[in-house]
Structure 1
Amino acid sequence: MKVLKLMPASLGVAMILAGFAFAAEPTSIDWTKIPTATITLFYPGQTTYEWTRSKAHGGNVKATKGVACAYCHDESDAEQEFGAKLVKGGDLEPTPVIGKNGSVDLKAQAAFDDKNAYLRFQWKTKNPYPGTEHQYLRFDGKEWKVYGYPKLDKVVQDGLQPGIYEDRLAIMIDDGKVPDFAAQGCWLTCHDGQRDSRHPFTKDEVAANPLMAAIGKSDVRKYLPVSRTDPLDWKTGKTVEELVKLKAEQQFVDLIQWRAHRSNGVGMADDGYVLEWRLSDAGKDMFASNADPKTHTPRYMWDEKKVGYKSITADQLYKADHFLIREKNALPFDSNIKWKEGDMIPDYVLSREDAMGSAADNNAIANWKDGMWTVVIIRPLGLTNADDKTLKAGRIYSVGLAVHDDNITTRGHHVSFVKTLGFGVKADIEAVKLP
């Protein structure tokens, strides 16, 4: 049994890469003594930035003026009501997912010492197993093709592919430099034109867009209004020089994502930010595509001597962890093996050793037990990277929280209204200084 020790070593924790056993929580922290905030996250449907400023939204005038969402939606059960209504379908949900829950309660705790912030989250999953599976490459007898998609994708809705996607926890953080984020949070980043949104982009629109060409992107993802010359139109865009200036002024939101497959397998959470697109921090993430860009065959397969198999089949999904980790349990793919129809190898290969730079700042410890994820994100204080928000004692930050559950991504997640995170000061989530 292979054991992967997590950093910082002072925590004395480890992750066992077998079965559904994940790392224990930091033994140096007694979480029973740390305040717990229970935050209700709700299903948002297609309530984009543009929608909040349209006549379809009763609070559009206030939203346009930068009034906080909570100013109008301060009822204790507002989130549950929104989620229950939106998840059923209608103008703001054209493709409802059968059985999707409208809301989820997220328990949040925080602590810090002289070096790190420790952000602890717990939530119940819809499924009776942890969502650690992600997309695969499946051999159909002739070729290796992607197998499994998020539940909102048409191929899943039409029954042509199974819904397979990892669970995920996301945190957006701002220190007051992004206009209106403290009032409207995540809704500044979700726009018409994005994947699964209202009026999604077309390939021709992206190809004709100077900004998309300049930043080398082929689709539309999260962005901030400040990055566009017309905040209500993704097809406009500021120059690269203007974007560089905005980034230097810290007019971006930090985005930390714990992924149950692509980062959890190596005890990390990825680090990115949102400005003109949803971008990764400088350096290298802990996950990469396992598909050869030319042949689409896998680059790596499992080391049978270490895990007992070279590939799996669909009937083995959710019965164990299936992380493919380059330095732990992987070998270069052997095309000479007589692969059988139905053989599957992960579409992503993980590596803690390859992760580097600002993109590799965050460690994470996760445990799924009795239907509940417990995730502790460990982030260094005082980061000075150009693509990070610096966390410091005595400061308050605006945060947006999201959980992706039940094989879903994009707008199919559950989100919070903006909350505050304070380090040693009063806030919605109060981080306690450790002795």
Structure 2
Amino acid sequence: MAWFSQGTGVVKSDPERNIWIPPTLTMPLQVQAAYNDEQIFFRYRWPADKPHVYHDMLRYQDGNWVRYGASRTGPDPEGTYEDRVSMLVDDGRVPEFGRYGGYITVGADMRFFTQQASKSEVAADPYIGGKMGANEVQKHLPATRTDMADWRSVKSESDLDAQRASGYFLDLWHWRAGRSNGVNMSDDQLVAGHRISDAGKGPFSTNWDAERNQPLFMFDRDKAGMDALTWRQVQQDSVDFDGIYYLSEDMARPFDPTHEWQQDDVIPRRLLRSGQGSRADISVLGQGRWQDGWWDVTLQRALDTGHPLDDKAFQHQGRYDLAFAVHRDATGSRWHYVSHPYTLGLGRDADLVARYIDGDRPVWNDDGWTDITLFYPGQVSWPQLTSQVHAGAPNIAAGEPVRPRHSEQQLAQYGVEMEFNAEITRQWWLTLGAGLVLMLGLWLGLRRDFTSTTKRGDAQ
């Protein structure tokens, strides 16, 4: 019974239940920040065994264009999913964020949770499906729902609009190695009633003709020197950042189905572009690069973009709340590493101090890093954390922040435990049962011996 109840273990990857446990539960991230009278700069540095810049590729196989790199549970086996770094920003108008970070954005039945809402049900929802055009429950803020444990309980559009106008949203900086780095851009999004993109055009579009089952664009040989990439290039462990590993508008031409395509030709399913409007506010300073096992990326943006419904403005002597996340090892969706919330000060004391510079670009100091530990969050939602199933719910209700109470290692372990909560509970009952049987056996054995001894004594 002991072997049956404990010998096989329960913590293991289970793709059918949307479970994949990373081999390491924490990772380091280094951050620096600087600003001048017009711009703010963030530099990020983190380790990755290899760079993943090929994202969502179309591979020519036996006369058909086959997609590689769609969202999946855990790492993409062909490595066709991009590395990413993202940052949530608030100016104090989402008060829970400064205490609990990204946890507050995780509602019930989220995408890629074991108990995720069905795509058909979400698509039929008037707000998420009808207004947002989505079929998955994504990040959203607590006050956008009448009940955070019910993703359907969206407040009225007039309330959502008023919340956003009052600053109740999180600014999301989202650098992508495949879908934005090639054109020196970062995506610019926000989290409010749903995770959405800023107004305007982002740094990429979808290169796919659904009616003809073929790409919309191919490489222009006169500009790119080729018609397509090869699958062999995509599978290499290194990347020539000075070469071509992406397809952008300035090197593309309309797709030619009569071209003599070869087996394992590859065309990116994403077409990169410069972007327009509020969604194009964030750019890469210099070049985002992976070298010797580390990514090094610097992003820049205007202190005040002039888009108050999309972005959080920065100003001298201001103090802000940040939280960071990194995707690596060809993983997407919720398989990332996240951080505690951290404070940012522009010329004032904080966890991360942005120093003022006179020039148009910072000169970074190797000793100026703020070291941050990221952790795997698992399947932990805000409704769980604020309910009776969480022993710390009274502390959250009292407004006590998470960082002084839990280390990153603890939160990673708790995240894994929540993924296997039912199994761990079952093991507990099996262990209890085995213990009771053991005690019963001991009692019966001792009773038998005692009875036998008594009978022998009576006989004498």
Give TM-score, length-normalised by structure 2.
0.69
8 Å contact kept, 1:399–1:421 = yes
Counterpart check, 1:258 vs 2:175: yes
2:55 equivalent among 115, 119, 134: 134
1:119 maps to what in 2?
A: 42
1:221 maps to what in 2?
A: 138
Whole-Å Cα distance in 1 between the matches of residues 23 and 71 of structure 2?
Answer: 13
8 Å contact kept, 2:108–2:148 = no
Whole-Å Cα distance in 2 between the matches of residues 225 and 401 of structure 1?
Answer: 19
Spell out structure 1 runs of 4+ moving beyond 6 A: none
Counterpart check, 1:145 vs 2:66: yes
Counterpart check, 1:332 vs 2:254: yes
Q: 1:214 to 1:326 in 2, by over 3 A?
A: closer
8 Å contact kept, 2:69–2:81 = yes
Paired-residue identity, %: 36
Counterpart check, 1:189 vs 2:105: yes
Q: Which amino acid aligns with 1:276?
A: G
Q: Secondary structure at the match of 2:160?
A: helix
2:220 maps to what in 1?
A: 303
Q: Secondary structure at the match of 1:422?
A: strand
Alignment of structure 1 residues 93-108 onto 2, 5 Å: 95-97=19-21, 100-108=23-31
Deviations 1:266-318 (A, max 9, x none): 01111110011111101110100011242231111112233332112321114
Whole-Å Cα distance in 2 between the matches of residues 323 and 272 of structure 1?
Answer: 22
Alignment of structure 1 residues 11-410 onto 2, 5 Å: 95-97=19-21, 100-127=23-50, 130-150=51-71, 152=73, 162-212=78-128, 213-317=130-234, 318=236, 319-320=239-240, 321-327=244-250, 329-352=251-274, 355-365=275-285, 366-385=288-307, 386-410=309-333
Whole-Å Cα distance in 1 between the matches of residues 120 and 207 of structure 2?
Answer: 28
Give how far 1:403 is off.
0.5
Whole-Å Cα distance in 2 between the matches of residues 96 and 345 of structure 1?
Answer: 29
Give how far 1:87 is off.
9.1
Deviations 1:79-101 (A, max 9, x none): xxxxxxx99659xx96225x633
Give how far 1:383 is off.
2.4
Whole-Å Cα distance in 2 between the matches of residues 349 and 335 of structure 1?
Answer: 18
Whole-Å Cα distance in 1 between the matches of residues 356 and 328 of structure 2?
Answer: 31
Whole-Å Cα distance in 1 between the matches of residues 223 and 126 of structure 2?
Answer: 49
Q: Secondary structure at the match of 2:122?
A: helix
8 Å contact kept, 2:318–2:348 = yes
Give how far 1:210 is off.
2.5
2:341 equivalent among 418, 427, 432: 418
In structure 2, runs of 5+ residues without a counterpart are 1-9, 359-460
Whole-Å Cα distance in 2 between the matches of residues 87 and 245 of structure 1?
Answer: 44
Q: Which has the larger radius of gyration?
A: 2
Q: 1:177 to 1:214 in 2, by over 3 A?
A: same
Give how far 1:219 is off.
1.9
Q: Which amino acid aligns with 2:279?
A: A
Q: 1:87 to 1:428 in 2, by over 3 A?
A: farther
Q: 1:301 to 1:175 in 2, by over 3 A?
A: same
Whole-Å Cα distance in 2 between the matches of residues 303 and 94 of structure 1?
Answer: 40
8 Å contact kept, 2:180–2:272 = yes
Deviations 1:208-238 (A, max 9, x none): 4222223332222111121111112112211
- Paired residues in the alignment total 338
Q: 1:290 to 1:417 in 2, by over 3 A?
A: same
Question: Which of the pair is proportionally richer in helix?
Answer: 2
8 Å contact kept, 2:53–2:80 = no
Q: Secondary structure at the match of 1:411?
A: coil
8 Å contact kept, 1:229–1:237 = yes
* CA RMSD across the alignment: 2.3
Deviations 1:375-399 (A, max 9, x none): 1110111223121111111111111
Q: 1:387 to 1:94 in 2, by over 3 A?
A: closer
Q: 1:308 to 1:284 in 2, by over 3 A?
A: same
8 Å contact kept, 2:59–2:231 = no
Give how far 1:244 is off.
1.0
